[in-house]
Structure 1
Amino acid sequence: MRVLKFGGTSLANPERFMQAADIIEKAHLKSQAAGVLSAPAKITNHLVAIVDKAIAGESFEQNLSEATDIFHNIINGLHAANNKVDREGLLALVEVELKQIQGVAQEAAQSKSLPDSVAATIHCRGEKLSIAMMQAWFEAKGYEVTNINPVEKLLAVGSYLESSVDIAESTKRVDANAIPQKNIVLMAGFTAGNEKGELVLLGRNGSDYSAACLAACLNAECCEIWTDVDGVYTCDPRLVPDAICLESMSYQEAMELSYFGAKVIHPRTIGPLVPLNIPCLIKNTGNPEGKGTYIDGNINDDGLKVKGITNLDNVAMFNVSGSGMQGMVGMAARVFSSMSKAGISVILITQSSSEYSISFCVPAKSAEKALSALESEFAHELLEGCLNPIDVIKDLSVVSVVGDGMRTAKGIAARFFSALAQANISIVAIAQGSSERSISAVVPLNKAIEAVKATHKRLFSNKKVVDMFLVGVGGVGGSLIEQVKQQKEFLAKKDIEIRVCALANSDKMLLNENGLDLDNWQQDLENATQPSDFDVLLSFIKLHHVVNPVFVDCTSAQSVANLYARALKEGFHVVTPNKKANTSSYAYYQEMRENARQSQHKFLYETNVGAGLPVIENLQNLLAAGDEVEKFEGILSGSLSFIFGKLEEGLSLSEATLLAKEKGFTEPDPRDDLSGADVARKLLILAREMGLALEFEDIEVEGVLPKGFSEGMNKEEFLQVLPELDAEFNKRIEAAKAEGKVLRYVGSIVNGKCRVAIEAVDSEHPLYKVKNGENALAFFTRYYSPIPLLLRGYGAGNSVTAAGIFADILRTLHGGAQ
């Protein structure tokens, strides 16, 4: 005998109902089968709502009507598939049952109450009708059916709405030997009978438990739970799409997972199966060929030390503490006795080794009742001040990691807690059982899903995911997008995925939590209707519980740079070539770094200086190793490097500037380059990296242009008057040449002073040969002297800058703040 239980989603419509029937029939042809059925999906909710609304004096007609429609749809579908199905008889039965429910509800509306004994008979009516429809289907196909009445055969002890089955007595009543071998067996789930013969319920979603009880009574070869997923997953696949479907697990693992919130199996299901060593198989009605998850008494070493991650939401934590608890015998017993007397289930317990406090969690719905019970139990101690006022923390979730293999595996707890820390999730309490089969962390409710995602990623996935939010899609941003597309396959081989979840320009943005399609991103962004709004981005990462969001700013806007401190505080990594943030006030400079440190997120800006050259990283490594920069000199502008190289070749200043503009080296208005302000910003960034607390105003700047030159002119007018400076510049060039020197536009840091100016350098100088758009940075340090550490290469261009940004984005995958 095999027992097969089908949940509401497996019976929701005619197609699924017949699919469930087909599975029962095929099982019966191999070995006699017993089907245990829930109510069709949504029916029990409607029946409970009818009772609740009636008592509250609200209209329940819509619920009654929708329930009727569900039953009629299934019956009509069954009859359409097999006209031997007793359609009229079933419709008449539904009418009788629902009219009776309507009558009871009307009485409840009058009295404003309904006894639990009567409510129980209403709540389970869906299961009764499921059995009637399934029996009619099989009888129409010529099968004989044995319908086990659970009220008569399953003896239960407890309340009308939640009872437990006495397996020993129920086994005698069921009497497997009395059931003909040729018969298909059916039984309604969710219900049993008490010693008075009254109908009682086995708790909400108790049909799994019903099936396990019947399997035990029949000593079945297997108890199969058919549902709408392929088996038990390492976590809820709706939260984590790459959750793994487990092939097997032990009874103990299944009980721990279900206790701590796994939805696929009812917490009490395993209990009746264990004494008889009856395996339980979780299968998908929609995928009957799938393997499912096999649960038995064996501890299976299948390579997975952890079998699952769960979140039990909506709990409240109580902290009973005070000096009066130290050395006081029986305090813990009184705490938990008071909970027992109040009928409150305690979910998790933790106690400090000093005996100063006991903390425990209960369902949030029981919080007020629990507080009242504790205050009553310890009224004297609270009055005398031996105990502190009882502390209650609400809106919590218990996130648990479960697995038999954890007992022998080292480092599971460390990886669990480090995953939470990296996701910036605070831990309220921790508990671990002596079996070492589970570790639980109590976290804020609004962080529970994020905690599950982060933990699953750390324990189960080799894939590293970056969720990129890109602001600025011009030259550099556009090149970055193309590089992300080009590198997709290469990164996939290294288990790295970069999902571009947002693209934004100054006006509008595109969002998709699973990553945007980048094939037509320009057109898609042009057609977007969502205005650009940083608050929307913040809401987005919280709504979708994004684990590794990276805010990438490829603009040069101060307004975007002003968002970095907040972005870091709210859980973003920040990657940017935009120099405005690092050259804002020193107070803001420090705020960004403090927020990065506090949130354990990275602020990366390698491309602020030297574009793709590894300047910042090398400087940071030098300083971290104990070196000290004694002097710095560098050519920090690709455009000015090009211009001064052409001056050396004999071009005039105006000719060299116009050529640089034509080749795209300069900004649209070359005065932005010739002013020296951009070089000054880069120099300030380097100075601050060296520990100098300077402001932008502290940089001494000699521009290429005299002060006030071309003031009030547009860029076209400026280019027309620029030749006026050629003669003066030619004199400086010739004077330098006479000394065997060339002119270079140099940023220097000496004795804590920063200066940007035109300098004449000789052939021995490290910057002498740097021209044609190259950048060069010479660091004279305690270790690198008299020959400096020299970094040299092309430091401008969209592709080079984008590559540097790309490298920074990949660095966010490694832990720790920066």
Structure 2
Amino acid sequence: MKVLKFGGTSVGSVKSILSLKKIVEKEARQQPVIVVVSALGGMTDKLLYTAQLALNGDQGWKTEFDAMVDRHHKMIDTIISDPSSRENLFNTVDSLLDQLKSIYFGVFLIHDLSEKTQDAIVSYGERLSSNIVATLIKGTKWFDSRDFIKTERVNDKHTLDSELTYKLVKKAFADLPRVSLVPGFISRDKTTERTTNLGRGGSDYTAAIIAAALNAECLEIWTDVDGFMTADPKVIKTAYTINELSYIEAMELCNFGAKVIYPPTIYPVCVKNIPIKVKNTFNPDNSGTVIKQKAENDRKPIRGISSISGTTLITVTGLSMVGVRGVNRRIFTTLADNGISVFMVSQASSENSTSIGVRDQDAKRAVEVLNKEYEKEIETGAMFPMHAESNLATIAIVGENMKHTPGIAGKLFGTLGRSGVSVIACAQGASETNISFVVEGQSLRKSLNVLHDSFFLSEYKVLNLFICGVGTVGGKLLEQIKSQYEELKERSRLKLNVVGIASSKKAIFNRDGIDLNHYHELLEESEPSNAEKLKTSILGMNIFNSVFVDCTASKDIASLYQDLLEHNISIIAANKIAASSEYENYAQLKQTALQRGVLFRFETNVGAGLPIIGTINDLKHSGDKILKIEAVLSGTLNFIFNELSAKVPFSETVRRAKEQGYSEPDPRIDLSGTDVVRKLVILSREAGYRVELSDVKKELFIPSDFFNSTEEEFWKNLPSLDESFEQKRKELEAQGKKWRFVATLDHGETQVALKAVDHNHPFYNLEGSNNIVLLTTERYKEYPMQIQGYGAGASVTAAGVFANIMSIANI
């Protein structure tokens, strides 16, 4: 025998109620079933709302009542085809509705709504729906649950009398028909015989009581979801159904906001070791979630994450609490006597403060009664008035696999810390199946997402990328992300989610990800933006695992880095401005990233995709010391001097460098040595030296007048240098030498200069736009370490940025 319970959504529409019929009839062919049903979806709220209208003397109660009548009539007309059955059902339903109308009219006349009357009113929802379902399924016997579900008054509340109820249930179902139909939720006081109920969600409880009393094979809860989810799917789109849970895990998840089943449902069947199946009326073929004594070990450290928004944390504190017996008893007794539920407790080991979590709607009352309880202590200064902090959220990670597993709490708080989420209070029981903690309400979404990712509950690890700059490098990067997207998902279980794209004038954002096939069109249609709006939008999204990727050369964008890092957003910069700015700013950015547990990566600032900065850092971290750096760091200048020949004058080589994308948009940045100086400063700093831009000695090869004119004048005057360059080139060629623009760090001294090197020098055969770096260290003193390769070009730079992104993903 099975007990099947169907919730309000399962009887809320014609489609769902016909699905219910099919499910029950299929099960009934195998064995007897007892079906417990809730009121039509939303009906209990409607019954209570109408009662309030009547209590307030509002004639609108009649309109609401007529709407209820109409809804039930339409349901009957639609689903009951047999004329005789339909007529009998109408008689039963209309009789109940007439009774209900009389009660409402009485409330309206005398302006009084007692608990007894309200309990009677809400009982009609289940009494009506159960008669409709009983008529729909042929051969069904209807039972009035009030005849065997009995309550008693305990501490001014209706509480189940388990012993009497179990005895009456066994008696009522001594002879089981093929299908038994029972209204859930409602009950009857064992002494007064008045109608009572088991509380909101009580239909689940009714089903569990019957299943336990009759030792059912299984309790099935049919609802509108496929089962328990690893997290709230409205917040975490990657949440999925949990196949199996233990009773303890299910109870913990329910107590902390998972509204799949009513928490008291679990205890009666747990005692009898009866499994619970949670299934979807709208998707009956899905296997759902099975709750049993011992769930299968899937090796994941936790089963799921649950949360309660609208939390207030009340702190009871005072020196008089230390070592005094009964202080906590007074706290919880006072709150219980006033009907206030506490769902989390956190106490300092010093005993001078206890923090309790309550719902926001209970906070004001809780503070009032606690201040009254400790009124004398507060007056004498032995205790402080209650401190309440609202608009918080409570999160619980749940799983029996956490038992005796070292590092779970460390990983939890470390993960939250790196995401910029501050934990206000926390609690963990000795059972080790639940770690609960309180955060600011605005951090709830980010917290849930990052924990879902970090504890392997998500199918993919997600990096949320903000790409700034869609020119040569940014455009190539977006192409590379698009081309690698599916492969990374399949091979590395990594999802690169581009949630923001900004050009120099416009920006677009989408938390769910931007379609990279059409981002150009989306940018064109978007609102104007600037650096400040960009920062506001990024911080406002407050999204987890955020990475800001700067593919611009903008000073305004570089100025955003500090704020972004302080909000735990990692930064990858192709932009050289920040890392080569004042040393104090550079050091502060590095320190902020370290303190916040995020990354500030700028590998492509020097050498495009070459692993130069990474290699320097690896040498330093291994205990080596950088003594000297000699490098050709400008792919643009190397390209220019390699292209220079008797047939190709200097001005033409500069033009080719720009056309082929090797130079900055304004090639004077390269020709002035500014770009190389910045790169040398960055390398020097990464090597451990405090160097400013002004410290670098410059020996340039173009007159300063060329850099003070407009860009148009620069291009016009550039050919005037061709003759002198050709003359010097011939002299070098005769000597067997070549020009190289060399950056040098030598024991803290820095210089950039155009130098002539012969065929014995490692720089001599440097081709095209290649870069080369020689690192002389304490370990590599006699034979310097050499790094060489493409050092310019949008594709290789974008690839270097992509590699930085992947380095964050692999942490």
Q: TM-score, normalised by structure 2?
A: 0.91
Write the distance in 2 (CA, Å) between the matches of 1:294 and 1:212.
15
Match of 2:764 in 1: 768
State yes or no: 1:561 paired with 2:558: yes
Write the distance in 2 (CA, Å) between the matches of 1:606 and 1:70.
66
Give the counterpart letter for 1:647 in structure 2.
L
Q: Secondary structure at the match of 1:314?
A: strand
Write the distance in 1 (CA, Å) between the matches of 2:67 and 2:793.
64
Please say which of residues 169-178 and 276-285 is displaced more in the overlay: 169-178
Q: Secondary structure at the match of 1:76?
A: helix
Query: Shift of the alpha carbon at 1:348?
Result: 2.2
Match of 1:136 in 2: 135
Instruction: Identify if the C-alpha distance between structure 1 residues 159 and 747 changes in structure 2 by more than 3 Å, giving closer, same or farther.
Output: same
Match of 2:79 in 1: 78
Write the distance in 2 (CA, Å) between the matches of 1:333 and 1:765.
83
Give the counterpart letter for 1:187 in structure 2.
V
Q: Deviations over 1:135-187 (max 9, x none)?
A: 2212xx4x1x3322223321113489963321221233334465653352112
Q: Secondary structure at the match of 1:709?
A: helix
- 1:398-437 matched pairs, under 5 angstroms: 398-437=394-433
Q: Secondary structure at the match of 1:350?
A: strand
Q: Secondary structure at the match of 2:45?
A: helix
Match of 2:113 in 1: 114
State yes or no: 1:597 paired with 2:594: yes
Please say which of residues 790-799 and 288-297 is displaced more in the overlay: 288-297
Q: Secondary structure at the match of 1:320?
A: strand
Please say which of residues 695-704 and 472-481 is displaced more in the overlay: 695-704
Q: Secondary structure at the match of 1:436?
A: coil
Write the distance in 2 (CA, Å) between the matches of 1:443 and 1:270.
29
Instruction: Identify if the C-alpha distance between structure 1 residues 406 and 388 changes in structure 2 by more than 3 Å, giving closer, same or farther.
Output: same
Instruction: Identify if the C-alpha distance between structure 1 residues 285 and 501 changes in structure 2 by more than 3 Å, giving closer, same or farther.
Output: same
Aligned residues of 2:531 and 2:557 also touching (Cα < 8 A): no
Write the distance in 2 (CA, Å) between the matches of 1:302 and 1:164.
38
Aligned residues of 1:538 and 1:570 also touching (Cα < 8 A): no
Q: Secondary structure at the match of 1:36?
A: strand
- 1:166-565 matched pairs, under 5 angstroms: 166-176=161-171, 180-182=175-177, 184-194=179-189, 195-298=191-294, 300-461=296-457, 463-491=460-488, 492-526=490-524, 528-532=525-529, 546-565=543-562
* Residue correspondences, number: 807
Query: Shift of the alpha carbon at 1:66?
Result: 5.5
Give the counterpart letter for 2:468 in structure 1.
V
Query: Shift of the alpha carbon at 1:257?
Result: 1.9
Instruction: Identify if the C-alpha distance between structure 1 residues 105 and 750 changes in structure 2 by more than 3 Å, giving closer, same or farther.
Output: farther
Give the counterpart letter for 1:503 in structure 2.
I
State yes or no: 1:154 paired with 2:149: yes
Aligned residues of 2:123 and 2:195 also touching (Cα < 8 A): no
Write the distance in 2 (CA, Å) between the matches of 1:182 and 1:414.
55
Match of 1:25 in 2: 25
Match of 1:41 in 2: 41
Instruction: Identify if the C-alpha distance between structure 1 residues 666 and 136 changes in structure 2 by more than 3 Å, giving closer, same or farther.
Output: same
Query: Shift of the alpha carbon at 1:309?
Result: 1.9
Please say which of residues 617-626 and 697-706 is displaced more in the overlay: 697-706
Give the counterpart letter for 1:560 in structure 2.
I
Query: Shift of the alpha carbon at 1:749?
Result: 2.9
Q: Deviations over 1:468-515 (max 9, x none)?
A: 222222222221122223223432212222122233323434433333
Q: Deviations over 1:175-222 (max 9, x none)?
A: 446565335211212211113111222222221112112223333332
Give the counterpart letter for 1:430 in structure 2.
C
Give the counterpart letter for 2:705 in structure 1.
G
Match of 2:667 in 1: 670
Instruction: Identify if the C-alpha distance between structure 1 residues 272 and 664 changes in structure 2 by more than 3 Å, giving closer, same or farther.
Output: closer
Q: Secondary structure at the match of 1:447?
A: helix
Q: Secondary structure at the match of 1:812?
A: helix
Query: Shift of the alpha carbon at 1:229?
Result: 1.7
Write the distance in 2 (CA, Å) between the matches of 1:392 and 1:294.
39
Match of 1:583 in 2: 580
Instruction: Identify if the C-alpha distance between structure 1 residues 152 and 596 changes in structure 2 by more than 3 Å, giving closer, same or farther.
Output: same
Q: Secondary structure at the match of 1:460?
A: coil
Write the distance in 1 (CA, Å) between the matches of 2:219 and 2:418.
41
Give the counterpart letter for 2:6 in structure 1.
F
Write the distance in 2 (CA, Å) between the matches of 1:710 and 1:452.
53
State yes or no: 1:643 paired with 2:640: yes
Q: Secondary structure at the match of 1:623?
A: helix
Q: TM-score, normalised by structure 1?
A: 0.90
Write the distance in 2 (CA, Å) between the matches of 1:795 and 1:445.
47
Give the counterpart letter for 2:792 in structure 1.
A
Give the counterpart letter for 1:118 in structure 2.
T
Please say which of residues 15-24 and 676-685 is displaced more in the overlay: 676-685
Q: Secondary structure at the match of 1:181?
A: coil
The answer for unaligned runs of 5 or more in structure 1 is: none
Give the counterpart letter for 1:188 in structure 2.
P
Aligned residues of 2:93 and 2:131 also touching (Cα < 8 A): no
Q: Deviations over 1:559-585 (max 9, x none)?
A: 222222222223322212112232344
The root-mean-square deviation of aligned C-alpha atoms, in Å, is 3.1
- 1:606-755 matched pairs, under 5 angstroms: 606-647=603-644, 651-667=648-664, 669-709=666-706, 711-715=708-712, 717-734=713-730, 736=732, 741-755=737-751
Please say which of residues 267-276 and 656-665 is displaced more in the overlay: 656-665
Give the counterpart letter for 1:642 in structure 2.
F
Q: Secondary structure at the match of 1:327?
A: coil
Instruction: Identify if the C-alpha distance between structure 1 residues 157 and 177 changes in structure 2 by more than 3 Å, giving closer, same or farther.
Output: closer
Write the distance in 2 (CA, Å) between the matches of 1:57 and 1:809.
65
Instruction: Identify if the C-alpha distance between structure 1 residues 610 and 64 changes in structure 2 by more than 3 Å, giving closer, same or farther.
Output: farther
Give the counterpart letter for 2:740 in structure 1.
R
Aligned residues of 1:339 and 1:345 also touching (Cα < 8 A): yes
Write the distance in 1 (CA, Å) between the matches of 2:611 and 2:63.
68
Write the distance in 1 (CA, Å) between the matches of 2:401 and 2:341.
28
Write the distance in 2 (CA, Å) between the matches of 1:375 and 1:8.
41
Aligned residues of 1:627 and 1:781 also touching (Cα < 8 A): yes
Q: Deviations over 1:30-54 (max 9, x none)?
A: 2211211112222223233333455
Write the distance in 1 (CA, Å) between the matches of 2:398 and 2:340.
24
Q: Secondary structure at the match of 1:274?
A: helix
Give the counterpart letter for 1:189 in structure 2.
G
Write the distance in 2 (CA, Å) between the matches of 1:374 and 1:534.
49
Q: Secondary structure at the match of 2:455?
A: helix
Give the counterpart letter for 1:71 in structure 2.
H
Match of 2:569 in 1: 572
Match of 1:781 among 777, 782, 790: 777
Aligned residues of 1:313 and 1:396 also touching (Cα < 8 A): yes
Write the distance in 1 (CA, Å) between the matches of 2:809 and 2:239.
20
Please say which of residues 129-138 and 242-251 is displaced more in the overlay: 242-251
Instruction: Identify if the C-alpha distance between structure 1 residues 439 and 665 changes in structure 2 by more than 3 Å, giving closer, same or farther.
Output: closer
Aligned residues of 2:8 and 2:42 also touching (Cα < 8 A): yes
Give the counterpart letter for 2:314 in structure 1.
F
Q: Secondary structure at the match of 1:487?
A: helix
